[in-house]
Amino acid sequence: MSWAWFHKLGSPRWFFLWTKSWALPLFCLGMVCLLLGLVWGLAFAPTDYQQGNSYRIIYIHVPAALLAQSCYLSLGIAGFVFLVWRMKMAPIFINAVAPIGAVMALMALVSGAIWGKPTWGTWWVWDARLTSVLVLFLLYMGIIAIQNTLEDIVLADKAAALISVLGLINLPIIKYSVEWWNTLHQAATFTLTEKPAMPVEMWMPLLISVIGLYLVVAGLALWRMQSYILEREHRASWVKQEVVGDGL
């Protein structure tokens, strides 16, 4: 199998031209999946015998929390790739995905707080999982802040990559916090290896909205990366061609 197509993705130009037509379909498909999952989950899935209707916030909370962690994992990998191989696309990726991840972490925290009120009787507890997701949010904000404050772009890229890699240490803490410590937060809803404990009418819409949100985020990330590429490569002739086209 030839890996040339993969190496070509490291070049901003190839990446831009190759993904130009991908962002919109990914985003639209994701939106359709997300809406389907949400409407199914919020309106048609059976109620929980213990939590009643309040459990339905799972259809927003779980996808957002999963995405917050996946985005950070990808940031960490991109940071590592940049520090080791100095690929040009890696800082563009970090720049594009960090704000999306921050929004996802915030969504997970807010929806979790809203869910916590009826089920635990409190908006917030200083529980291991909640605190580590809050730290994840702060790490995202740190990456965004350092990217935007440092004026030297080479230094800013390197700084964001370093912080992304260092912050990876927080991910296993989030993942295993509910297993290591006895906390209020319940254990994972989904695992790859086991059948979920919920009935199929309950987990199916959840699965669909998770996939939908992944696709939406992928589409958004591609869009943001494309505009960063145009901004950073604005001196290249292919960008002029691309933006101006055949004439103004």
Partner 1 sequence: MTYFSYFKAEFLVLLRRKQDVINALLFFITVIVLFPLGVSPSPIFLAPAAGGIIWCALVLAILMAIESMFKEDYNDGSLEQLVVSGLSLPLLVLLKILVLWSVIVIPLLLMLPLLSAMLYLPEGSFWVLVATLLVGSPSLFLIGAIGSALTVSLKQGAMLMLLVILPFYLPVVVFATGAIKAAQEGLPYSGLLAMLLAISLLSLVLSPVMTAISVKASVN
Nearer to partner 1, 156 or 207 (CB): 156
**Six-digit token string for 106:** 């915030």
- d(CA 237, CA 134) in angstroms, rounded, equals 44
At closest approach, how far in Å is the CB of 153 from partner 1? 11
Count of CB atoms within 10 A of residue 138's CB? 14
Contacts (CB under 8 A) with partner 1, residues 81-100:
83
Establish if 182 lies at the interface with partner 1 (CB under 8 A): no
Relative orientation angle of helices 128-149 and 170-180, to the nearest 10 degrees: 170
Nearer to partner 1, 65 or 159 (CB): 159
Number of residues that bind partner 1 (CB under 8 A): 23
43, 154, 192, 197: which one contacts partner 1 (CB under 8 A)? 154
Nearer to partner 1, 156 or 198 (CB): 156
Q: Which stretch binds partner 1 (CB under 8 A): 7-15, 25-33, 35-43, 162-170?
A: 162-170
- d(CA 88, CA 247) in angstroms, rounded, equals 29
Establish if 163 lies at the interface with partner 1 (CB under 8 A): yes
- d(CA 223, CA 93) in angstroms, rounded, equals 11
Q: What are phi and psi of 145, to 5 degrees?
A: -65, -45
At closest approach, how far in Å is the CB of 82 from partner 1? 11
Contacts (CB under 8 A) with partner 1, residues 114-143:
131, 135, 138-139, 141-143
Nearer to partner 1, 171 or 230 (CB): 171
Instruction: Say what the alpha-carbon torsion angle 187, 188, 190, 195 is, to the nearest 10 degrees.
Output: -30
Q: Residue 79: in which H helix or E strand, if any?
A: helix 58-85
**What does the buried/exposed string (b/e) look like for 203-222 if buried means 16 or more CB atoms within 10 Å of the residue's CB?**
bbbbbbbbbbbbbbbbbbbb
Nearer to partner 1, 173 or 207 (CB): 173
135's CB contacts (< 8 A; 6+ apart) are 170
What Cα–Cα distance (Å) separates residue 158 from each residue in 9, 22, 94, 125, 227? 20, 28, 11, 36, 20
Nearer to partner 1, 9 or 155 (CB): 155
Nearer to partner 1, 27 or 72 (CB): 72
Q: Which stretch binds partner 1 (CB under 8 A): 15-23, 74-82, 150-158, 223-231?
A: 150-158
Establish if 17 lies at the interface with partner 1 (CB under 8 A): no
Catalog residues that contact partner 1 under the rule CB under 8 A: 83, 131, 135, 138-139, 141-143, 145-146, 149-150, 152, 154-155, 158-159, 162-163, 166-167, 170, 173
